[in-house]
Amino acid sequence: MPLLIAISGHHNSGKTTLGRFLVEELEKRGYRVGVVKSTKEEGLLTDREDSDTFLYRKAGAKLVVLLQRDLATIYCSMDNENKDNFISWVERFFWDYDLVLLEGFKGLKGLPRIWMLREDEKEEFILQSNPYIDLVVNLNNRNLALEFVIQKLEENEKREVFLFVNGESISLKAFIRVILKEILFGFLRGLKGLPEKIHHVEVIIKEKYDR
């Protein structure tokens, strides 16, 4: 599962500039990086009301994908106010990425957070009014943000087993992760036709229920 890190800050603080810098530098180092950007706009439609995708969504489809030759656009219903559901959705959607940068999301707690400081802001005041900040930087010392992210990525690589129930991430103790991994890999060793090297295993179990 990917590491999630928020890049927050006030308007025109350079959040996107920092995000682009991190993406470019981390991609050079072989990391796969995704981005989710929030906006304060409400009712902003990125889909025309007379388009087929819009009509499918209006009919009730919760997930619609427009596939072009060189680009895929995804429209899905989201509950951004529910922190647990949103984080689990991001983790599942970017399951094969190393890192997802969340630009904005000042109110989302429980994630590592980098704050972009504007020239007219004081770090002491920002830390007093925003207690959920791990690092404060500006564009002059953005390499500190890169070092911070790389350290977090190295720590995240130690987590090898993830469990989701009904789409929500379940916290596992270290010994439980070891037991689950050993049981599953023990089962796989008895199967034929598997790749010589296994770098990722995903099991989905669906239980039938009355609709």
Q: Which of 29-38, 145-154, 160-169 has the lowest mean pLDDT?
A: 160-169
Q: Which residue has the tokens 């990425």?
A: 97
Please tell me whether residue 110 adopts helix, strand or coil conformation.
Answer: coil
Q: How many domains does the chain have?
A: 1
- Domain-located, residue 85: yes
Residue range(s) defining the domain that contains residue 8: 3-156
Residue 171 resides in a domain? no
Residue 71 belongs to some domain of the structure: yes
Q: What is the mean pLDDT of residues 102-118?
A: 89
Q: Is residue 86 part of a domain?
A: yes
Q: Is residue 204 one of the residues assigned to a domain?
A: no
Residue 173 lies in a domain: no
- The CATH number assigned to the domain holding 133 equals 3.40.50.300
**Residue written as tokens 């927050």?**
8
170 lies in some domain: no
pLDDT of 86 above 90: no
In sequence order, what DSSP letters do the residues of the chain get, joined into one string? --EEEEEE-STTSSHHHHHHHHHHHHHHTT--EEEEE----SS--SS-TTSHHHHHHHHT-SEEEEE-SS-EEEEE---TT-HHHHHHHHHHHTTT-SEEEEES-TT--SS-EEEEPPTT--HHHHHHH----SEEE-GGGHHHHHHHHHHHHHHHTT----EEETTEEE---HHHHHHHHHHHHHHHTT-SS--SS--------------
Instruction: Report, in this order, helix, strand and coil percent for the chain, each rounded to 5.
Output: 35, 20, 45
The token pair at 16 is: 């996107």
| Domain annotation covers residue 25 | yes
Beta strands 33-37 and 168-170 are unpaired
Range ranked top by mean pLDDT from 83-92, 107-116, 139-148:
139-148
- Among 103, 106, 114, residue whose Cα is nearest residue 142: 114
- pLDDT tens for 4-38 read 999 999 988 999 999 999 999 999 999 999 999 88
Q: What does the pLDDT read at residue 45?
A: 65
Neighbours of 69 (CB within 10 A): 4
Q: Which one has a higher pLDDT value, 43 or 195?
A: 195
